[in-house]
Amino acid sequence: MRLLAPAKINLHLRVGPPMADGFHPLLTWMCTVGLFDTLEVSNQSAASLQIHLDCDDLSLPTDGRNLVVRATQLFCDASKITGSIHIRLRKTIPAGGGLGGGSSDAAAILTGLRKIFGGGCSDGRGEERESLPQLAAQLGSDVPFFLDGPSAVCRGRGEIVRPVAAPAAQWGILLMPPFGVSTPQAYRRFDDMNLGHAENLAPEPPWQSWTALPAIELMQRLVNDLEAPAFSLVPELDAVRRQCEDKLARPVRMSGSGSTLFTLYDRRDEAETASEKVQRKDLGSVVVALAPAIELILNEV
């Protein structure tokens, strides 16, 4: 079976004060973008569970530290499945860039295993087993979104997912600097800067009218509360963002905890021209479709 795992961007990301467990309540509008990892999964019967992950990005671990292995283990344990499961992961989404690549890979493998093993894991209606969204939430804050994409408002740690229409602006450029931002450090700096206020989370924006806005008007409304701490940790990132804003004459926002930056366009040719304008040796720039209509399971061979 071949699976597509899309990247995401946080169009809008508001963060509240830390909870007792140190995590932060979120209000975020996320949208998939047309940049994909692919996974191939096959299984053979075996008396015990064996998971083999092969990844073309040699900098990533292929043991229990990889979210794909953890997702497979969690699914098989919850569903009492044994077998020899082989997964080949081809990475295109840069790791640690705020694009949710690892989370999307995990959601894709959960979806694929569910298809392969049929009713193995309950769909949330059964009482005896954990549902796919429950398993996803144990793996990371962004994983449940990918079960429900392509466009959703997420609350809680990110696990409360409410689909919304995709933006009318269907094109974006992703600007990828050669350095990353550590997510735990960004949240710690957010706390140190005392930025978590209850008002960040309520009232919610009028999503319905936001989805209909032309790209430039939508960009003017979008906020990312992790920008201030990320830019305080990595001032070069803010410098890149400002330079791109000047060159493109429109707001440029950060996705997640960075370091990927983005801006949106109504038309593909506008996005292509913009991408050429900002491209340079130390700044990758790609044009992506927002919320692309795709089949996540490519084939079942």
Residues recognised as catalytic: 8, 142
Beta bridge partners of 217: none
Query: Residue 132 CB, nearest distance to ligand C5P (Å)?
Result: 17
Applying CB under 6 A, which part among 89-97, 140-148, 263-271, 287-295 lies near ligand C5P? 140-148
* Closer CB to ligand C5P, 15 or 175, in the complex: 15
Return the structure tokens found at 193: 């800067």
Applying CB under 6 A, which part among 22-30, 58-66, 169-177, 224-232 lies near ligand C5P? 22-30
Tell which one of 84, 134, 138, 183 touches ligand C5P (CB under 6 A). 183
Applying CB under 6 A, which part among 35-43, 46-54, 138-146, 289-297 lies near ligand C5P? 138-146
Shortest-Cβ-distance residue relative to ligand C5P:
141
Does 140 bind ligand C5P (CB under 6 A)? Our answer is: yes
Does 61 bind ligand C5P (CB under 6 A)? Our answer is: no
Tell which one of 66, 141, 275, 285 touches ligand C5P (CB under 6 A). 141
* Closer CB to ligand C5P, 15 or 215, in the complex: 15
Instruction: Give the Cα separation of 114 and 76 in Å (integer).
Output: 10
Residue at 298: amino acid letter: L
